[in-house]
Structure 1
Amino acid sequence: MKNDLQKTLKHNHIDLSNLSYLQRIILITDGTLTDILEAYLLEHIEVLKVSEKVEVTTKEIPILELEAGSEIIDRRIFLQGKNSKKNYLYAESKIVLGRLDEDFKNGLLKSQTPIGHLWLKFRLETFKEIIDSGKEPVNELSAYFLDTEPKDQLLFRTYRVFSNRKPIMMITEKFPQSYFI
């Protein structure tokens, strides 16, 4: 039984048994990460948009079942503590505009509301499929995470979000391994 559990804990490129409970939860949950962070940190979490642009794809994106010439939002954000102003998580998203409800799309483009809170607000039914996880160096993101150096490690996960059985977004979330120990 224990050997079977160890095999289950190896999630793609990372051995989850070497991580803290919270790090494992963050990497494998399909719940709203913002709510998990707020409960753990006892601090309201806000979105700090680094960039967000609507663009037309020049090539197909198979993971989103998307042909070249489709409109997407390319979004990069930090989840940041409202009071502490500490960045806890960095995320990159590719979001298919043509598959979004108009109210959800406007909330995404015109507010600082986390995606998970928008899902709840607009009652968007979603399914998440984690497609990758692992570790990588913090590199240039060390300038945005307190107490990290470029050589330190980030934990990351990438997942697809489906609605109405179609992929509507691909999100990669990253946080320093030294966080949430």
Structure 2
Amino acid sequence: MSTNNFRLRFSLLLRYPIYTRLIQMCSLVTYSDMYSVITKEIMKTNSPSKLDKLIHSHVKELFVAQADRPAALKDISLNRLSPFQRALLVADGTVTRFIEAYKLIPVEVVLLYQARRTVHNEHSWLKLQEGGNIIAREVVLQTPCTEFQTPKIHAYAVSQIVYERLPHNVVDGVESGIDGLGALLHHSQLEARRDLLWWGIERATGMPSSLAHFEGRPLLCRTYRIVANGNPLMLITEKFPLDDS
């Protein structure tokens, strides 16, 4: 098992009592010793196939509405994704910061589109009645353009934001189009949670003109909503190029 794969599986196994106890037993030894002990324990108690099933089952539990995902989304084995992509899939925090930390590169948020809209049908995931108001927003996360390189796109995000449920300073930040939503929520100190809804693979269609080169290419997608005080604040779909691993 490679170091990267072990680290991912190790982080997931922390949620299971048998491995938590084992880690506690190893708390006074070096990382190298702990790695060796836990690897032996995994090999002794789980075949690779059983361990993979355990991880797949855990990821499945994280996404609470997988059965309701759009028909365009298809399944893909987690084994075919890189550790970076698997971590993106379940990330519970600012995606921009995660990409920066993982790849050790600066990432900027570039606004493609933003406008206020009225929903014409009841929106169950946002708990919004017909006639409710939202901000529709599309951004890309990319490395900045420099003299020596063109921007590399790491994510394309589409958001529906119920701005009337947000603090005024967050709405002002959204409408400025400078910062990402995760950073705005973090700086506002608003207590909110992310509900992971569904994920899958899709072929890019109907992309904005600036992303036309992605048309027809496979994208790893996930959708989640951000909730505070029992009310959904926004519904966000993020799409990641499969060749960015």
Gaps of 5+ in 2: 1-45, 67-74
C-alpha deviation, 1:168, in angstroms: 0.5
Structure with greater Cα Rg: 2
Q: TM-score, normalised by structure 1?
A: 0.89
**Take 1:170 and 1:153, find their aligned partners in 2: how far apart are those partners?**
22
Instruction: Kindly indicate whether residue 143 of structure 2 is the aligned counterpart of residue 77 of structure 1.
Output: no
Q: Deviations 1:124-150 (Å, cap 9, x if unpaired)?
A: 22100111100011245497569x653
Indicate the structure with greater helix content: 2
Shift of 1:9: 4.5
Q: Does the aligned pair in 2 maintain the 1:161–1:168 contact within 8 Å?
A: yes
More strand by share: 1
Q: Please name the residue that 1:8 is paired with.
A: 58
| CA deviation string 1:88-112 (max 9, x = no partner) | 1100000001110000000111131
One of 216, 224, 233 as aligned partner of 1:159 = 224
Comparing 93-102 and 12-21, the one that deviates more: 12-21
Look up the match of 1:43: 105
CA deviation after TM superposition for structure 1 residue 15, in Å: 2.5
Aligned residue for 2:168? 102
The answer to which structure, 1 or 2, has the higher relative contact order (CA under 8 A, 6+ apart) is: 1
Q: Which is worse superposed, 75-84 or 94-103?
A: 75-84
Q: Mark the runs of 5 or more structure 1 residues left unpaired by the alignment.
A: none
1:1-181 equivalences under 5 Å are 2=50, 3-9=53-59, 12=66, 13-83=75-145, 84-141=150-207, 144=210, 150-180=215-245
Give aligned pairs, total.
179
Mapped contact 1:43–1:82 kept (Cα < 8 A): no
Instruction: Check conservation: 1:145, 1:176, Cα contact below 8 A.
Output: no
The answer to whether the Cα contact below 8 Å between 2:111 and 2:177 also exists between their aligned partners in 1 is no
> Residue type matched to 2:100 in 1?
E
